[in-house]
Amino acid sequence: MVRDGSAAERRFEGRLRSLRSAGHRITAQRRAVLRALAMMGCACGAEDVHARARRIYPRLGLVTVYRTLAALVREGLAQTVQLDDGRVRYELRDDGRHHHHLVCLSCGSIARLEACALGRLQSAGLRRGFRVTAHRLELFGYCEDCQPSGGRHEAR
């Protein structure tokens, strides 16, 4: 599980190296958080990361998870996603691949949308003298499994 040369493993090591070269020490806790985050299918909260990372390093504290996530974000290795419940979600950044989110209002799943067609809006920003350097887009609706017309919907 640890010593294969898979792409995932190479990415993991790369992130560790980034952290180290940014002046951070590599600890078992940070490895666990990083691995947990990499295992997550989509953006999730600190509590979720904690639960999963604990399976790797059981005495891991929630505080350390918060600190590690903050460090990852600071170093550009992870990013946050804001939904409507007052909790911050985190996800690793794959290279610099920019993406948005499809948030299902029924089951709460968060899928990625790799396409980004915002050039037009960025120009609209420019037009008003505003220089856009970043943006965040979340799309809300119903995923394939939760289509109201599709059969199995779920009261929530």
Partner DNA sequence: CCTCCAAATGAAAATGATTTTCATTATCTC
Partner DNA sequence: GAGATAATGAAAATCATTTTCATTTGGAGG
* Residue 29's binding partner out of a copy of itself, DNA, none, with CB under 5 to 8 Å set by partner kind: DNA
Continuous H helices in 45-107? 46-54, 62-74
Sequence-distant (≥ 6) Cβ neighbours of residue 95 within 8 angstroms: none
Residues paired with 112 in a beta bridge = 101
Q: Is 61 in the site for a copy of itself (CB under 8 A)?
A: no
Q: Judging by DSSP bridges, how do beta strands 100-104 and 88-92 pair with one another? A: unpaired
Give yes or no for residue 14 binding a copy of itself (CB under 8 A).
no
61 binds, among a copy of itself, DNA, none (CB under 5 to 8 A by kind): DNA
Size of the site for DNA (CB under 7 A): 27
Residue numbers 24-53 binding DNA by CB under 7 A: 24-30, 45-47
Scan for tokens 């067609």, then name that residue: 117
Smallest gap from residue 149 Cβ to DNA (A): 32
Answer whether 85's CB lies under 8 Å from 105's CB.
Answer: no
Task: Give the containing element (helix H, strand E) for 124.
Answer: helix 119-127
CA distance 39 to 42: 9
Q: Which x/- pattern over 86-115 shows residues binding a copy of itself (rule: CB under 8 A)?
A: x-x-----------x-x-xx-----x-x-x
Map residues 49-78 to x or -, x wherever contact with DNA holds by CB under 7 A.
--------x-xxxxxx-xxx-xx-------
Could you tell which of DNA, a copy of itself, none binds residue 39, using a CB distance below 5 to 8 A set by kind? Answer: none
